């Protein structure tokens, strides 16, 4: 144990914990001395370019890596700043050359990856369809030349530092985050309080430091480049690349994980003063302690929900506009998503670059996104900059830019995302199940981003029409958690109250869909897939239904946790997967029950059978042991359930979206405390029936499609 660090953080008695640590770890004898390893800097005698043909890729991916320095090296801080300046935003040379001007990609990233003994500086590009990675590499060097010629300003560096400060506070906002950082600082820096020096080193980086490390580690230096290209398109690889010689796994048979031999080997045990085979008793259950929630509203109809939380000097707030994807035209989906993306692209009086610069100078994150039932402006900011970020949000909401060049960039980015999804077995299987559960003509069964056809045909006028029709404070709520008082929030919102006039917005009600009368099997063909993605499900209840939480609790031991039956069998016993789950997924208008996992291809049939059989067995009746496990896990889990601003924001969003009482958490806790076997069995009988579900498998049709007929649910239907 003399090379280990134990970090404990939370609400505890230090003397009691020290005694427990001494009891459980003090008897373990020290091992051989472990010498501190010195950094091992890497040098490259020449540049190397490698390529690999990927069976499932539909576009090319390029990565360039330069050897750099280990973590906490003074140069590591300047290299991190360099990565942000080179590719971190719309003003960066990488973005301007590769994305905006040459249109080789919709996204480019640079990252300094400092590790214990050495580090790398990486530039990564997902190319647009058909783009040669030779052109990508040339464009990267053109961006380097622009950086050298134009440089950057002290203001650019201040943006980087402001963002680093916000990220640091976010990182330590949880008990887990604090404990992890203390352990890492002690392990790698030799000082658990090294965070002070770490922050000081970040803040101390100068413009000259950034220029110096660029010259020292990047400019004219050798590198390793990898080109991952679609199978049969080697010509897209960067010029001069050689085959990387990657050997792909050949999965032949499904085998259970077995430990052979060693059974007779005698293991010398450490002498101990107590029986270590006896599990220590669990501590008492804790009651969840949710901070006080305050409510208010504006004259224009916008409702406000807030929680004061001052552990870190941050504020998180969301502006949630009801509607989102469900207000899309079924024949032209994706407008809400595209509109949300466009609101990030500047305002009437600020270009996209100018808006981004203002946000970054505040050390803030502001992002507009759409989902099935809402469009949300999400903000994470230093508390001292709350009003300034809100002024920018107001500008983004009320003064869209409608920039045609930005519109085309957003279109390209969206199409690239859809293209990536089109080869993702998890996405394809999930969407297939959604269509079966909700029906082909249901807007919820289409992707929030739309289809390639609808996105290609989309016009700016469609976005403007959606905005004019559906954006109103009357269907908007403002949620805020952080180091900010109610009076300060209301004062800051006064301008939005005056400027944003309400209008009537029609929110449709989606009719519930029936549960299938019998099971059926569907197959999505992914040729040569090494694993199969399994999705089994049926319509269920929306979040506002009184049975939702009881059903959630009832499912917990079946598959709602790591120690649920499906994971214990498929992962721990069989070794077929890294994880298997079952669960209720619920929104305002609908809900689903889904069982899912990604398993080794040759274990597909057996895995589906195990899902079916475990659900059937669960319906036969749970045990008191199952109920006790669920109660213990959920009640003790409450201790850390709402410790961060992000978690509290999720609670506020759930409460305000589904019209739940502000003490709904306490109500749910009381329900679990009184939980009985009969209550769990009632919910399972009502909502989990494997003989009334759709079974979807996304995998290699050549080897697995016929196997699915052995389930006895009829001929499998091939979807793709």
Q: Where along the chain do its domains lie?
A: 48-243, 293-499, 520-718
Q: Is the pLDDT of residue 637 over 90?
A: no
From 470, 543, 449, select the one nearest 322 (Cα to Cα): 470
* CATH placement of domain 293-499: 3.30.830.10
pLDDT tens digits for range 179-192: 999 999 999 999 99
Q: How far is CA 144 from the centre of its chain?
A: 31
> Are the CB atoms for 345 and 395 separated by under 8 Å?
no
Mapping DSSP onto H, E and C, the string for 179-195 reads: HHHHHHHHHHHCCCCCH
pLDDT tens digits for range 470-503: 999 999 999 999 999 999 999 999 999 999 999 9
From 94, 59, 102, select the one nearest 417 (Cα to Cα): 59
CA distance 98 to 321: 34
Q: Is the pLDDT of residue 386 over 80?
A: yes
The confidence score (pLDDT) of residue 254 equals 45
Q: What stretches of 292-390 adopt beta strand conformation (E)?
A: 293-297, 303-308, 314-322, 365-370, 374-382
For residues 254 and 131, which has the higher predicted lDDT (pLDDT)? 131
The confidence score (pLDDT) of residue 264 equals 64
Same fold, 48-243 and 520-718: yes
The confidence score (pLDDT) of residue 262 equals 56
Q: Is the pLDDT of residue 266 over 80?
A: no
β-pairing, 224-230 vs 61-67, is antiparallel
> Are the CB atoms for 62 and 136 separated by under 8 Å?
yes
Q: Is the pLDDT of residue 691 over 50?
A: yes
pTM: 0.87
Q: What is the architecture, at CATH level 2, of domain 520-718?
A: 2-Layer Sandwich (3.30)
> Are the CB atoms for 619 and 682 separated by under 8 Å?
no
> Are the CB atoms for 366 and 342 separated by under 8 Å?
no
Read off φ and ψ for residue 63, nearest 5 degrees: -135, 135
> Are the CB atoms for 369 and 300 separated by under 8 Å?
no
Q: Is the pLDDT of residue 287 over 80?
A: no
Query: Can you say whether residue 229 is alpha, beta or left, with left for phi > 0 and alpha for psi between -120 and 50 degrees?
Result: beta
pLDDT tens digits for range 146-171: 999 999 999 999 999 999 999 999 98
The confidence score (pLDDT) of residue 247 equals 86
pLDDT band at 635 (very low <50, low <70, confident <90, very high): very high
pLDDT tens digits for range 533-568: 999 999 999 998 999 999 999 999 999 999 999 999
DSSP 609-673: HHHHHHHHHHHT---HHHHHHHHHHHHHHGGGTT-SHHHHHHHHHHHHHHT--TTHHHHHHHHHH
Eight-state DSSP code of residue 416: H
pLDDT tens digits for range 67-91: 999 999 999 999 999 999 999 999 9
Eight-state DSSP code of residue 524: E
Q: Is the pLDDT of residue 409 over 70?
A: yes
Considering the chain, what is the average pLDDT of its residues? 94
Q: How far is CA 280 from the centre of its chain?
A: 35
Q: Is the pLDDT of residue 132 over 90?
A: yes
The confidence score (pLDDT) of residue 36 equals 86
Q: Is the pLDDT of residue 578 over 90?
A: yes
Residues in contact with 215: Cβ distance below 8 Å, sequence separation at least 6, in sequence order: none
- The Cα-based distances of 140 to 137, 147, 234 in angstroms read 5, 11, 20
Share of the chain above pLDDT 70, in %: 98
Task: Check the CA dihedral 308-311-315-317 and report its sign.
Answer: negative
pLDDT tens digits for range 32-80: 998 888 999 999 999 999 999 998 898 999 999 999 999 999 999 999 9
The confidence score (pLDDT) of residue 512 equals 82
CA distance 468 to 579: 45
Helices and strands, counts by H and E, the chain: 25, 18
Residues linked to residue 717 through DSSP beta bridges, in sequence order: 522
Q: For residue 366, what are its two tokens?
A: 């502001």
* CATH placement of domain 48-243: 3.30.830.10
């Amino acid at each position: 144990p003399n090379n280990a660090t134990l970090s404990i953080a939370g609400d505890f008695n230090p003397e009691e914990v020290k005694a427990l640590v001494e009891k459980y770890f003090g008897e373990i004898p020290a091992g051989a001395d472990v010498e501190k390893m010195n950094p091992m800097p890497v040098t490259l005698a020449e540049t190397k370019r490698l390529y690999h043909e990927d069976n499932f890729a539909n576009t090319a991916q390029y990565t360039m890596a330069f050897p750099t320095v280990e973590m906490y090296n003074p140069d590591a801080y300047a290299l991190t700043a360099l990565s942000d300046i080179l590719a971190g935003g719309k003003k960066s040379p990488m973005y301007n050359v590769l994305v905006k001007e040459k249109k080789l990609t919709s996204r480019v990233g640079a990252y300094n990856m400092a590790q214990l003994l050495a580090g790398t500086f990486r530039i990564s590009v997902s190319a647009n369809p058909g783009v040669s990675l030779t052109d990508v590499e040339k464009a990267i060097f053109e961006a380097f030349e622009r950086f050298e010629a134009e440089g950057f300003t002290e203001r650019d560096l201040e943006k980087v530092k402001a963002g680093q400060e916000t990220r640091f506070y976010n990182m330590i906002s949880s008990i887990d985050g604090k404990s992890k950082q203390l352990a890492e600082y002690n392990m790698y820096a030799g000082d658990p309080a090294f965070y002070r020096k770490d922050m000081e080193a970040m803040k101390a980086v100068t413009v000259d430091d950034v220029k110096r490390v660029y010259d020292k580690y990047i400019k004219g230096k050798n590198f390793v480049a990898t080109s991952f290209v679609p199978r049969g398109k080697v010509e897209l690889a960067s010029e001069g690349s050689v085959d990387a010689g990657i050997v792909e796994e050949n999965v032949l048979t499904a085998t259970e994980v077995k430990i052979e031999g060693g059974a007779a080997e005698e293991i010398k045990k450490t002498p101990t003063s107590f029986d270590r085979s006896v599990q220590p008793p669990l501590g008492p259950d804790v009651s969840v302690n949710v901070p006080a929630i305050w409510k208010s509203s504006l004259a224009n109809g916008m409702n406000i929900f807030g929680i004061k939380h001052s552990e870190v000097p941050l504020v998180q707030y969301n502006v949630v506009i009801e509607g989102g994807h469900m207000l899309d035209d079924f024949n032209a989906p994706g407008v809400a998503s595209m509109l949300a993306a466009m609101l990030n692209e500047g305002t009437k009086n600020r270009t996209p670059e100018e808006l981004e610069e203002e946000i970054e100078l505040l050390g803030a994150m502001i992002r507009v996104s759409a989902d099935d039932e809402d469009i949300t402006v999400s903000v994470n900011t230093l508390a001292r900059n709350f009003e300034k970020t809100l002024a920018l949000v107001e500008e983004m909401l009320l003064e869209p830019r409608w920039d045609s060049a930005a519109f085309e960039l957003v279109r390209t980015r969206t199409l690239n995302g859809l293209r990536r999804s089109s080869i993702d077995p998890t996405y394809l299987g999930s969407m297939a199940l959604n269509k079966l559960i909700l029906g082909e003509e249901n807007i919820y069964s289409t992707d929030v981003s739309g289809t390639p056809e609808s996105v290609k045909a989309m016009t700016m006028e469609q976005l403007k029409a959606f905005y004019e029709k559906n954006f109103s404070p009357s269907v908007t709520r403002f949620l805020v958690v952080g180091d900010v008082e109610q009076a300060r929030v209301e004062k800051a919102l006064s301008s939005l109250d005056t400027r944003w006039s309400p209008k009537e917005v029609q929110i449709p009600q989606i009719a519930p869909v029936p549960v299938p009368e019998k099971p059926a099997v569907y197959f999505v063909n992914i040729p040569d897939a090494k694993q199969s993605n399994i999705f089994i499900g049926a319509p269920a209840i929306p979040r506002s239904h009184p049975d939702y939480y009881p059903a959630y609790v009832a499912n917990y031991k079946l598959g709602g946790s790591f120690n649920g039956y499906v994971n214990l069998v498929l992962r721990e016993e069989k070794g077929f997967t890294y994880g298997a789950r079952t669960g209720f997924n619920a929104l305002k208008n609908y809900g689903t029950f889904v069982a899912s996992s990604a398993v080794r291809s040759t274990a597909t049939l057996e895995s589906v059978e195990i899902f079916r059989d475990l659900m059937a067995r669960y319906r036969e009746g749970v045990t008191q042991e199952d109920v006790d496990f669920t109660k213990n896990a959920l009640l003790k889990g409450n201790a850390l359930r709402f410790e961060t601003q992000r978690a509290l924001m999720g609670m506020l969003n759930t409460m305000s979206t589904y019209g739940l009482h502000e003490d709904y958490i306490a109500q749910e806790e009381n329900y679990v405390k009184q939980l009985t076997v009969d209550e769990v069995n009632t919910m399972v009988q009502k909502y989990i029936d494997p003989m009334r579900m759709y079974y979807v498998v996304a995998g290699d049709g050549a080897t697995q499609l016929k196997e699915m007929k052995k389930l006895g649910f009829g001929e499998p239907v091939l979807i793709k």
